[in-house]
Amino acid sequence: MGVFGLREEEIKHAIKVLGREPNDLEWSVISVIWSEHCSYKHSRKYLKEFLTKAEWVEQGPGENAGIINLGDGYRIVFKIESHNHPSAVEPFQGAATGVGGIVRDILALGARPIALLDSLRFGPLNKGRNKYLFEGVVGGISFYGNCIGVPVVGGEIVFEECYSSNPLVNVMCIGLLTPDQKSYRGRAEGEGNLLLLVGAKTGRDGLQGASFASEKLDEEVHKKRPSVQVGDPFLGKLLIEACLEAASLDGIIGIQDLGAAGLVSALSESARRGKSGVELILDNVPQREENMSAEEILLSESQERMLLVVRPEKIDKVIEVFRKWDLEASIIGKVISKERFVVYFKGEKIVDLPTELLVEGSLIFDPPYTPYEVPSISSDLYNSIKEEHIANFVEVLVEDLLIKESIYRKYDYSVQTNTILPPGLGDSAVLRIKGTNKGIAITTDGNGRYCYLDPRKGAIYSVAEACRNILCVGGRPLGITDGLNFGDPSDPKVFYQFREVVKGINLASRVLEIPVVSGNVSFYNGQGENTIYPTPIIGMVGILEDINYLITPGFKKPGNLVYLIGDLSWLSLGGSRFIKDIFNKVVGDVPWVDLIWERKLKLFWEEIRKEKGILLSAHDVSEGGLLATFLEMAFWGNRGVRVDLPDDKIEYLVGEGSGIVVEVEREGEREFLERLGKYALKAIKIGEVTDNEFVISPYIKTTLSELFKRR
Amino acid sequence: MKVGIVIFPGTNCDMDTYHALKIVGLKPVYLWHKEHDLKDVDLVILPGGFSYGDYLRAGAIARFSPIMREVVDFANKGGYVLGICNGFQILLEAGLLPGAMLPNITNSFICKEVYLEVLNNNNFFLRRYSKGEIIKMPIAHKEGRYYISQKELEELKENNQIVLKYFGENPNGSIESIAGIINKRGNVMGMMPHPERAVELFLGSQSGINLFLSFLDEE
Amino acid sequence: MKKWTVILEIFLKDGIFDPQGKTIKDALHNLGFKEVEEVRMGKVLKIDIYGDNKNEVFEKIKKMSEIFLANPVTEDFNIRVEEE
Amino acid sequence: MKKWTVILEIFLKDGIFDPQGKTIKDALHNLGFKEVEEVRMGKVLKIDIYGDNKNEVFEKIKKMSEIFLANPVTEDFNIRVEEE
Ligand SMILES: Nc1ncnc2c1ncn2[C@@H]1O[C@H](COP(=O)(O)OP(=O)(O)O)[C@@H](O)[C@H]1O
Ligand SMILES: [Mg+2]
């Protein structure tokens, strides 16, 4: 194959650093590992800015996943990953292998995968291939996740024109390390240690997957697409069990998954991290197909494979574990002290490259960027809002709940028996940690509309929203994994979006003191007119030091008081679901968000959640405004609400912005207000929980039973 | 009572089942599919999951596992065997229970809490429930539509072998809403819902606990 | 021994509801193919196998199907043996 | 218009890994059927459809397969039209 996808300057750079012209195979190796997907050449510089440390962070970015400490020896491992391009071509397998891939990143740290979340974006279901893509992706996630017995406990679904034909499929996986478990790193070190390739045989699947994910998805690519990778969840499950069993033995130095760019990236990256080199005997790689060339074996992206670095004296014991699970386990080479990536095939040395050149040696690109203007909400539009639009919007929101339900019913969310707050019932999923009183809260949040209208504010908003979502269920936020989805970085507008989004995430994460411990970047999603909205997905994990801190969003008891923490005047129609769904426009200023306020809210909440019985339910204001918040709290609690808005400003009903709605008992009201006062937070009393009555005056007067007839 | 939990390749509810048994005070042992040793257990549980990925048909490959020969012998001698979800499917494939499973009528995987009616409590497994009791438990399966020929169905009814029925909605289209059956002798039971996921209140329901409590030795 | 390719088709028995077939039929109608009256979906296996003669191969596949590849309670199968 | 029955077989393209086929092959070996060399698993549809002539029916099914029933990226299909 030789050189592919590299620019003139990169080719010159490689030759200069190496001091010679690489051979054909070496060019292939350099080309895949310098692809955007593997080298992060457009993003590396910016990602370095993130806050990545805190007292409770055990591992930040740079490894296969991040680790945070929950105390008492329990640690949580997590990362998000996109599989957008493969899912656009073959949605079922694309999504399935996406799940398999992120699960193995978690496994590489020696942790048992305990939960998955899927953040999805599609074009409208009634257009083109979107329904096919949607059903395929959900089917693929369900197929893989259910089979390996890792519950899908949450996620998101958004439909928007810009994702037509270029869906976003981001999957986050969470793993657990118990006190008796060692954590591992993707590291090859110690001269003479052996490289053990385990799991599936290597076939010709997914050749060039990494570079494919680094290209625009045009018609051409559709035709010359690489051979599709097929997931085998059955083998994936065996690999999880076998790796965990092996990880409990002595003598394993490092564990690394095989993802994009297969053996090339797994070996060179772990060698680089271990400040060592590797010598690979390609003939020893178990092959599924006949007559595979060196290049095919090296670059194959066959699924369900892992690399273990093992001390020679322990190798037999480790291999035995994989035999027990009927998996391949072959010694394919060894660690050497020279920091080089060396490959032998049929007795000949065919690759000999410095690992530094491969892993950190690519050129860094910092392309030009330009800000752009977006339209505001015209007064014509504003004045054309009518009563019937509200009724239609209620329909939309109820329909939304049903679509979400139709998705998570296809996922096994209760396996592993830890899911205390299952999908569809809260702002975050909550899992208990067996053997402790602890729980964790997990969420993914992203708002492409906001980020398109104002990338920096949109990103800040997404982090703040994720934080509120963790708080709402009674958690304390501990860490972020960010999935950054963008268009073509050589488009100055796109690069502007990228820079601003990273700045926004960074700012919010610093003010809120929630470090970024892992993440993923996916460029080249759509192009020109069809470029996607900048869509950062914030995956966040928080701790419930005691699962009794759990707060659920459903209204509890008629007669209880309903407060909005925040201010009605913050709610805005800019970029809102309402304007989008009713007028099909994405316009206006995105809602105001004040990080200092969010920080105070966080501090207030981290304290009050520990007092049993003050906050009886809580739910943040997000898409769909207070109307959606009330509908959901009613739907989930099977109780109604009577709300009196002080004014008939439409923003109050369907405008979006910061804020949390809470339910407090009359007896707890004083205490609640005092504590709010302590943190100088504002709140207004806006209503009362009812039995069946659902009233938001002056707009809506109906009943629960009427609203949810279709349930 | 000594309880054994079989692990097939692809089983994924083994640890959940273990956890549920531990809650009632039992200390089960794991049984490995490649072995022929039932380790002197008094009760064998085939737990849920995706043995062999459910490739071809749920349970079709697992039933040929070495351990299944022992399980069949054990059952034929009167030993207690409980199949949950995938375990139920394996028991059907192995012929220890009559009938077969088909893909859900919805053509998709279904994960939700359902209500069940206990039709027959006059057996070892369900004796701690009362007849007619309505209980809540999660289901999570893709092939849970129980099917049996009309003639055999009549037989099941005559012998009171239908022990659990879906109450209200029949989620997967099972014939006569059947959720669980027992063999004639009363020592082999299969059920699609997951009792091991319903043993702690904060998981949504505790109605599975009585099933596991029935494995405790009588005082 | 010669090598044979066998095509084994497995369908749900007539009279057993086939949700997949129904879903596909509905989708085809939505796409405008109204002339489709019914769709049933089954599994098909392509098996490469060594054997002395066609009959022997046929009998072997029949046996595999009866004990393993098809479920006698719910499925019917048919076998086509082709020489390579 | 006559009624036709069409058998449409859809398999993963050669070279694309078929985990189900592989697992079934392994199971057959364990059952003693060592003479099985390879198994690939696919879908088969039995479609009842109205149409004027064989050719028209064939073309229609071909179109359905191309746009909906099969995924051209990963699957090959073949069509057999039978008169009822
Ligand atoms: N947006 C981001 N924020 C923080 N860390 C990131 C981000 N993108 C990538 N990383 C980190 O860079 C490293 C390489 O990421 P990736 O190539 O996705 O890993 P893998 O090959 O294991 O899938 C990982 O440590 C990942 O956590
Ligand atoms: Mg990795």
pTM assigned to the model: 0.95
Secondary structure (3-state) at A198: strand
Task: Please tell me which residue in B13, B33, B85, B141 is annotated as part of the active site.
Answer: B85
| φ/ψ (deg, to 5) at A374 | -125, 150
Q: Which residues, listed in sequence order, are joined to residue A119 by a DSSP beta bridge? A: A156, A170
The residue in chain D having the minimum alpha-carbon distance to the alpha carbon of residue C64 is D28
What CATH number has the domain bearing residue C73?
3.30.1280.10
pLDDT tens by residue, A399-427 = 999 999 999 999 999 999 999 999 988 89
Q: Does D20 touch chain B (CB under 8 A)?
A: yes
pLDDT given at position A210: 61
Whether A133 has a pLDDT exceeding 60, the answer reads yes
What ipTM was assigned to the predicted interfaces of this complex? 0.94
Contact A519, A485 (CB under 8 A): no
CB contact under 8 A, C39 and D46: yes
pLDDT band of A222, cuts 50, 70, 90: very low
Q: How far is D3 from chain C (nearest CA, A)?
A: 9
Which CA distances in Å does A670 have to A437, A679, B88? Answer: 30, 15, 55
Show residues of chain B in contact with C20, CB under 8 Å: 103, 107
pLDDT tens by residue, A614-632 = 999 999 999 999 999 999 9
| Interatomic CA distance for residues C45 and A159, integer angstroms | 38
Query: Any idea where the domains of chain B sit in the sequence?
Result: 2-214
Number of domains in chain D: 1
Whether A224 has a pLDDT exceeding 60, the answer reads no
Whether A226 has a pLDDT exceeding 80, the answer reads no
pLDDT tens by residue, A587-605 = 999 998 999 999 999 999 9
Domain membership of residue D35 as a residue range:
2-83
Whether A223 has a pLDDT exceeding 50, the answer reads no
Examine residue A167 and state whether it is found in any structural domain, yes or no.
no
Q: Give the DSSP H or E segment for C75.
A: strand C75-83
Q: Does C76 touch chain D (CB under 8 A)?
A: no
Tokens of B124: 């070892």
Q: Does D19 touch chain B (CB under 8 A)?
A: yes
- Please report, rounded to a whole number, the percentage of residues in chain A having pLDDT higher than 90: 91
Examine residue A531 and state whether it is found in any structural domain, yes or no.
no
Secondary structure (3-state) at A320: helix
pLDDT tens by residue, C19-64 = 999 999 999 999 899 999 999 999 999 999 999 999 999 999 999 9
Whether A225 has a pLDDT exceeding 90, the answer reads no
Mean pLDDT over A108-131 rounds to 96
Whether A568 has a pLDDT exceeding 50, the answer reads yes
pLDDT given at position A221: 47
pLDDT along chain D (84 residues), means of 10: 94 91 96 96 96 94 92 91 82
pLDDT given at position B196: 98
Residue of minimum CA distance from atom 17 in ligand 1: A38
Residue B218 annotated to the active site? no
Residues B128-132: contacts with CB within 8 Å, 24+ apart?
Answer: B128/B210, B128/B211, B128/B213, B128/B214, B129/B210, B129/B211
| Interatomic CA distance for residues A642 and A555, integer angstroms | 12
Quote the Cα angle for A466-A469-A473, to 5°: 150
Which CA distances in Å does D14 have to A93, B65, B176, D40, D76? Answer: 16, 30, 43, 9, 9
CB contact under 8 A, A147 and B111: no
CA-based nearest residue to A211, from A199, A198, A221, A200: A221
Tell which atom from ligand 1 comes closest to the C-alpha of A79.
27
Q: Does D48 touch chain C (CB under 8 A)?
A: yes
pLDDT given at position B217: 79
A161 exposed, middle or buried (CB, 10 Å; 0-12, 13-18, 19+)? middle
The residue in chain B having the minimum alpha-carbon distance to the alpha carbon of residue C17 is B105
Give the residue, out of A187, A503, A520, with the most ligand 1 atoms within 8 A of its beta carbon, to mutate for a pocket test.
A520
Instruction: Say which ligand is closest to the CA of A498.
Output: 1
Q: Specify the CATH superfamily of domain B2-214.
A: Class I glutamine amidotransferase (GATase) domain (3.40.50.880)
Buried b (16+ CB within 10 A) or exposed e, B165-175: bbbeebbbbbb
pLDDT given at position D73: 85
Residue of minimum CA distance from atom 24 in ligand 1: A62
Mean pLDDT over C2-30 rounds to 95
Examine residue A561 and state whether it is found in any structural domain, yes or no.
yes
| Interatomic CA distance for residues A535 and A533, integer angstroms | 6
Tokens of C24: 């596909």
Domain membership of residue A640 as a residue range:
551-711
Examine residue A667 and state whether it is found in any structural domain, yes or no.
yes
Q: Does C16 touch chain D (CB under 8 A)?
A: no
What CATH number has the domain bearing residue A601?
3.90.650.10
Whether A206 has a pLDDT exceeding 80, the answer reads no
Ligand 1 first shell, C-beta below 6 A: A 47, 50, 61-64, 79, 81, 105, 259, 482, 484, 516, 518-521
Buried b (16+ CB within 10 A) or exposed e, D38-53: ebbbbbbbbbbbebee
Tell which atom from ligand 1 comes closest to the C-alpha of A257.
22
pLDDT tens by residue, A303-315 = 999 999 999 999 9
Tokens of B65: 């596992």
